[in-house]
Each structure stands twice: as structure tokens, then as C-alpha cells.
Amino acid sequence: MTLPSLENLAYPAGEDGEHPGGGHCAWLGGATREEDRVAIVDQYATALRVLVDAAAASGDGWGLTRPILFAVHQLCENALDVANDHAGVTVSRRSKDRHSLAVKMAAAVTGGVYAGLTLEERQWCERFVETIVPLTGNGFPGRYAGATVSGRQLDELWCCINPAALRDAATAFAGLTIRRVAELDERAAEISAP
């Protein structure tokens, strides 16, 4: 068996120019830490779109359900982290709560992250998180085969997922959540476009 080379997996900073085998920039592109944090939200939105497109192209998508759930959770978690940080909202850092969308959303709501949205938009965001939390289970069922939601395996709770609906709702949520990051309003609109 011929094993792949390990020589060109990544290139150290400072080695600009052409790289053997190609290369994609590791820099997020922002001029500030906050812009980089929004860029990572955008990258997860793109990853979610790519996964959903691949699932649709495969015919059944079974092999991508858990990565799709993880991408949904991570996109929403990153958006909440960016918005809470931008608004100066303190969120529990206890290990149990570290990836909890419910905890981050509650902090965002009480901290005024959604104050600039219409009542309908804010309520939709709250309902989205209430709906998605039992599906993503703090992101672990998307990452680990044996992870549980409320003590049960994911497939004991849910028969199937709807990748396109998850993509559309998660990207809309992310866009609405980071909308108040004033300098980045245009970027938020791009993120929420399916």
C-alpha cells in the first residue's frame, strides 16, 4: 500500500508563495479578533451548506447526518459566542455548560443581544434554540457515536433529520444572532442567505 505523504499537510507561517500540492490560507481574514470570530461563523455556515449539498447529491445522505448536526450546533454556538462577547454578556463557563446553546441563548436574551430584532425575530430565535437543543444535545451526538441526548441515543429520539431545513434555519439564526455586531451587518446578511 502506498501511504499519503505527510510532508505537505500544512505550511508554517512565513512560508508564503506557492506550496506543493496547493494550500488554503489558515488566516480568517479579519482585521480584528471580532472580525475573525465572525469569519469562523461564516466558515461553519459554508461547511454546513457543503455538507447539505453533498447529502442531497448522495441520494440518501445517511453518511452525513451526524456531521450535519455537528455543523448546525457549532455554527449556532459560534454565533452566540460572537454576539455575547460583542455585547459584553457573561456566559457560564462551567464544563457542563460550555457548549450549551440553551445557556448561551438565555444569556444572550437577558443580555440584550436580540434587542435590535423585531419581537417576531427574537421569538423565532428562542423557539429555534428550544427546538434544536434536543436534536444536537450540546453538539456531542454529532461528534461521538455513543453520545446521548437526555440519556438516550439520538436515533432513539429521532428517526430522521431534514438537512435542508436545518441549514436554512441554522444560517438564519446565525445571521440574526450576529446582526448587532454593527460593523459586520453585511456579513450577517451573507451568513443568513441559504
pLDDT at 190 over 60: no
148 strand-pairing partners = 153
Task: Give the percent of the chain with pLDDT over 70.
Answer: 90
Nearest to 109 by CA among 124, 93, 94, 131: 124
The model's pLDDT over 96-131, given as tens digits with 9 standing for 90+, comes to 778 899 999 999 999 999 998 999 999 999 999 999
Residue 124's pLDDT is what? 97
83: number of Cβ within 10 Å: 29
Task: Give mean pLDDT, residues 80-90.
Answer: 94
Phi, psi (degrees; rounded to nearest 5) at 168: -60, -45
Q: Of 46 and 93, which is predicted with more confidence?
A: 46
pLDDT class of 155 with cuts at 50, 70, 90: confident
pLDDT class of 183 with cuts at 50, 70, 90: very low
CA dihedral 182, 187, 191, 193 (to 10 degrees): 110
Cα(80)–Cα(45) distance, integer angstroms: 14
Report pTM: 0.87
